[in-house]
Every structure is written in C-alpha cells, then in structure tokens.
Amino acid sequence: MLKDITLGQFFPGNTVVHRLDPRTKILLVIIYIAALFVAKSWISYACVLVFLIFAITISKIKLKVMLKGMKPLIFIIVLTAALNLFYGSGEPLVEFWIFKITRDGITRAIFMSARIIMLVMGTFMLTYTTSPIMLTYGLELLLGPLKKLKVPVHELAMVMSMALRLIPTLIEETDKIMSAQKARGAQFDTGNLIEKAKAMLPILVPLFISSFRRADELATAMEARCYHGGEGRTRLNVLKFAVRDYGALSVGVAVLAGVAVLAGFGL
Amino acid sequence: MNEGILKTEKLTHVYSPGTPFEMVAVRDVDIEIRKGEVLGIIGHTGSGKSTLIQHLNALVKPSSGRVLLEGRDINESKESIKEARAKVGLVFQYPEYQLFEETVYKDIAFGPKNMKLPEDEIDRRVREAARFVGVEELLDRSPFDLSGGQKRRAAIAGVIAMMPEVLVLDEPMAGLDPQGREEIMGNILSYHEETGAAIVIVTHSMEEAARYTDRMIVLNHGSVAMEGTPEEVFSRGEELRRIGLATPVMTDVADKLRALGVEVPGTVYTVEQMVTALTALERGRRGA
C-alpha cells in the first residue's frame, strides 16, 4: 500500500528529458506552472496539455506510473471538482435543495481538476526524470544570487536533497514496522477515528526514533568526511547548458507566450 | 517423528507481478514445521528466507499455494489470520527498532492486549515472558534506556508473551556480541524446552545452525535446495558452497585433517563434536 507512493522518486533513464540540464527542467516546470495558471480557455489548456504529453512521451515514463502517483490526490481532486461544480454562476441546469449546477460550474470544475492533475503531473516529470543530486545542484545554482542576501542557499539545497533521498527509506521502514506490529496482533484498519489514530502510535514512535538516529548517524558520517557547508566546495561534473537546453527552454517560453496571448484575447 | 503443525503447499510469491520489476521471491516451496522441533532455515542474502517466513503468519499473502496451520488454510478468513498471528509468533530482524511504549512492561503487554486477553492473564504472560528472556528487573524502565542486547531481549519477550506454538525468528543474533548471542539463544531455547513450542531460526550462519537446530532447510533462489538433519546437510559441503553457503568451520577442519591422513571419526560440525572426535582419536592412539 505504502509502496504505491511514488512522490520524490527517480526513474533512471537516458532520454532527452533525462539528459536535460536540471536548471532547464526546473525553469521549464516554473514556466509550465505559470502557463497553467494563465490558461483560461479550452484552447490554452489544450496547448499546455500537448506540451505535457509531449514531455511524458519522450521521457518514456509509463502513464501507469504517473497515474499511480496521482492516487493519493484523488480525494483533493474530487473535492475541488465538487466545490467548483456548485459555485458556478449563471443559469442553473439542474437544481435540487440548496445545490444548483450551472454550465459555468461544470466548466470550472473541469478546468480546476485538470489544473491540479496537470500541475502534479508536471512536477512529477521533474522528480521522475531528475536524480535528487542533480535536482538540488540545479536549485542551488538557480538560487545562487540569493547568497548575496545572506540566504544559506547551499544548506537549504542540502537539506532538500537529503529529505528527498530519505522519503523512500522512510516508506520502507514504515512498512517494516507495520509488519512487525501486525505480527503482534496490531490492527490498523478497524475501529473509529480515535482508535485508528491511537493505532498509529506503535508505528510513529519507532519511526521517529529511527529517523532521529539516522539523522545523527548521517551528520556524523558527513563530518567524518569533512563536510563544512558549501564554502569552497567544488564539483566533479560542472553543469553546462547544451543546445538541447536552449531548445527546450524556447519551446517552453513559446507555449507560455502563446497561452498568455490567448488569455489577452480573452480565450 | 513428531507431527506437523505448520505446513506450506506449493507456496509461491511474486513481487510486483506484471511490471518490469517482477521478481519471484519464493517458488513452489513445500515445507513442514513439526511440533517441538528447532528448525533452521538457511540461505544466502536474497534467497527468499524473509519472504517465506512472513507467509507463516499471514503477513504476506501467497501469490499461489497455501499455508496450513493444523491443517487449515490460514488465509481463509479474518479469524484464521488472527489465529495464525497468535499461534505463530514472528520476530523480525532487529526487533528492538519496533519498541514504542513508555515501559518495557507495556511494550511486552502490547501483543497479549491485542489478543484481547483478560487483565490478569496479560500480567501473568508479561512476567513469564520477561522471565524467559531475563528482563524481569527492567519491566518499569523505558525500553529506550536499555542496552542493545537488553532491547533485543525485551522485543523478543513482546512476541513470546503471545505464547506462540511456533516461534519464528529472523536472524535473532545479528549485530550482537558473542555474549549477547549466547544469552539470546539460551532464552529462546528455554522457552522451547519449557513450553514445547517449535522454533524456527532464520540465519545464514552455519555455525549457529549447526549448534542449535534439529533439522535444516536450505533455500536457494526461492526454492528448497536441501532438507535434513545438520549431519545430512553438512555432508553435502560441495553443493552448499556452490549456492554461496559454507560448511561450519569444524567440518572444514575435519575434512582437511582427513585429507592429511588423520582418521577423524564420526561426523563433526560443532566444537564439542570435534573435541569428542579428537579425544577418541588420541585415546585410540595411546591404546595402540
């Protein structure tokens, strides 16, 4: 059950998407999200969707994997759709009790849920095709200018990369602890909400303890290898923009510009 | 021969079926655990030992095949699963990482409480389990203040308190010092002797298997490669080495001595047997 969560997971590959500079991919995701929020009409949504499908196709990430990752979000999507459905303005199509469904509401519900789904899928594309190390390196470089404002960019990037790295480990650990407590007769799926919350205790306590232990060990191991922050650190592989990066960025900017222009025409 | 209590029939388990990550962890395994025996399950890393034992109390459902507890399929209903969890105690690797309560007492009581036993029975079982593993003095302490070995023993007590008829332990001695190993094994064996429960020890240490088990099952790539008494299994040293395992050091020493022309009598796989064999040899020489 827990193994289905694919958030923050990296699927190694050797496609163009995988080989893009992480900075390019981060910028593309930002552009993509901007386009998604600027989009107002069917046409502009279609433009962004085509861009997304294109990216998924050439990255060779299976649609099944994508959909599996969406599973935990079904509730939020349905809730958003439902709320928007009933808050539309204009002539009601169907009316019952205090609810009324309008044409406007239906379109809004569809747009909003499409926006969430596409938003999540777009960010999945980033984490699925970029190794955590590359991802943080890219972020660190992009945020580099903030160092002048005394923002600890390197440290933040390091914290983020470790967090991403530890998600699968924690999931595995949770699975193990759950099995062990089940072997002692624990039940996690019966009883009311309070009982269920109480049943989580035998999982959470060991999980916290092992996380702290792991953090401690990791810190010691880093210090043993003379880690002292970002100052003076050099890289084995220095990132360089390639032609494909400029190409990908131009496509992204073109999509955003297109959507913005369409929005300007009220579409 | 004792009668069987727990049995697997053509047990197969496939991880992530239908995906590129598909992996057969256990294939067509037929094993039987008999009442009151100490059984060793031996195999190299990744041989399917851990997956196999998680089937024994219905933590994992077989992809195909069955697990029978006293002749009944344990995955038949919710009740049969519950019964299997109570009758087949499973101690995972590094069980001390699963301690969570404020006191050792409460942690040991977790299992019996889940079995919905009456208060006084819980108390009796907690004290008895604590006695088996020698943590009676520590019942009021926080499990997180204990030493590594004590934690391990407290965690094992948490499973023993359910009074399982089959106690399965995955690498119970991993990561402990020699004294800790001796103690833990002594605790487990005293539970075995006093209650007559069957013990299943999963290990990849031939020394441990040789010392403590009555019967051994050797797994290789998810299938049973050998089965028999330690004597029978260790007589097939060549095969063991081929599947990435080894014979106990004492067996190797005896083999080398024989190759040098020293007539070491009998089968030898523990230190005690070696001492007996060499003493016999020495006496024979003096007598001659």
A11-24 tens-digit pLDDT:
888 888 888 888 88
Splitting chain B (288 residues) into consecutive groups of 10 residues, what average pLDDT does each group show?
83 82 88 92 87 91 91 88 90 89 93 91 94 91 90 93 93 87 90 93 87 91 91 86 86 88 83 88 80
Which of A155-159, A166-170, B135-139 has the highest mean predicted lDDT (pLDDT)? B135-139
**pLDDT for A13:** 80
**Which pLDDT score is estimated for B154?**
93
- Residue in chain B closest to A205 (alpha carbons) equals B100
Q: Please compute the mean of the pLDDT values over residues A193-219 and round it to a whole number.
A: 89
Are the beta carbons of A180 and B98 separated by less than 8 Å? yes
Among A155-164, A208-217, A229-238, B148-157, which is the least confidently predicted range?
A: A229-238
- List the single range of A57-61, A164-168, A244-248, B276-280 with lowest mean pLDDT: A164-168
What does the radius of gyration of chain A's CA atoms come to, in whole angstroms?
Answer: 23
Q: Are the C-beta atoms of residues A28 and A249 closer than 8 Å to each other?
A: yes
Rounded to an integer, the average pLDDT of A231-247 is 83
Give per-residue pLDDT as tens, B199-211: 999 988 888 888 8
d(CA A200, CA A189): 10
- What's the pLDDT at A228? 82
Cα-Cα-Cα-Cα dihedral sign, residues A127, A178, B136, B170: negative
Interchain CB contact of B126 with A (< 8 Å): no
Does A12 contact B at CB distance below 8 Å? Answer: no
A266 exposure class (CB count in 10 Å sphere: 0-12, 13-18, 19+): exposed
State how far the Cα of A264 lies from the Cα of A38, in Å rounded to an integer: 10
pLDDT at B194: 92
CB distance from B143 to chain A under 8 Å? no
Taking CA atoms, A201 is separated from A83, A174, A212, B98, in Å, by 34, 12, 17, 11
B274 touches chain A (CB under 8 A): no
Least Cα distance to B205 among B288, B147, B153, B269 occurs for: B269
A15–chain B Cβ distance below 8 A for any pair: no
Q: Helices in A60-183 by DSSP H: which ranges?
A: 63-70, 74-86, 103-129, 132-143, 153-183
> CA B14, CA A34: separation in Å to the nearest integer?
44
Selected for mutation to probe chain B from A173, A179, A182, A184 (highest B CB count within 10 Å) is: A184
Least confident of A86-100, A128-142, B49-63: A86-100
Rounded-to-integer distance, Cα A107 and Cα A42, Å: 9
Distance spanning both ends of chain A, measured CA to CA = 42
Q: Are B240 and B246 in contact (CB under 8 A)?
A: yes
Q: Phi first, then psi: give them for residue B219, nearest 5 degrees.
A: -100, 145
Q: How many CB pairs under 8 A join A and B?
A: 51
Interface confidence, given as ipTM, is 0.85
Work out the angle between the directed axes of helices A103-129 and A63-70 (0-180°, nearest 10).
110
Q: What is the mean pLDDT of residues A106-114?
A: 87
pLDDT of residue B169: 94
Q: Is the pLDDT of residue A94 over 70?
A: yes
Amino acid B1: pLDDT: 53
Q: Which residues of B touch A209 (CB under 8 A)?
A: 97, 144
Rounded to the nearest 10 degrees, how much is the dihedral formed by the CA atoms of A244, A246, A249, A254? Answer: -110
What local confidence, expressed as pLDDT, does residue A161 receive? 78
pLDDT of the residue at A1:
42
Residues 6+ apart with CB under 8 A from A9: A127, A128, A167, A168
Instruction: Give B-chain residues touching A12 at CB under 8 angstroms.
Output: none
Q: CA-CA distance, B6 to A153, in Å (whole number)?
A: 58
* Phi/psi of residue A15, nearest 5 degrees: -90, 175
Average pLDDT of chain A is 84
Alpha-carbon gap: B99 to the closest alpha carbon of chain A (Å): 6
**Does A228 lie at the interface with B, CB-CB under 8 angstroms?**
no
Which comes out higher in pLDDT, residue A39 or A190? A39
- Give me the pLDDT at residue B156, please: 93
Q: So what's the pLDDT on residue B105? A: 94
Contacts of B10 (CB under 8 A, 6+ apart): B28, B29, B30, B64, B65, B66
Angle of CA points A251, A252, A256, to nearest 5° = 115
Give the helix/strand (H/E) hosting A144: none
A66 touches B at CB < 8 Å: no
Tell me whether B98 touches chain A (CB under 8 Å). Answer: yes
- Predicted local distance difference test score (pLDDT) of residue B210: 86
CB contact under 8 A, A182 and B85: yes
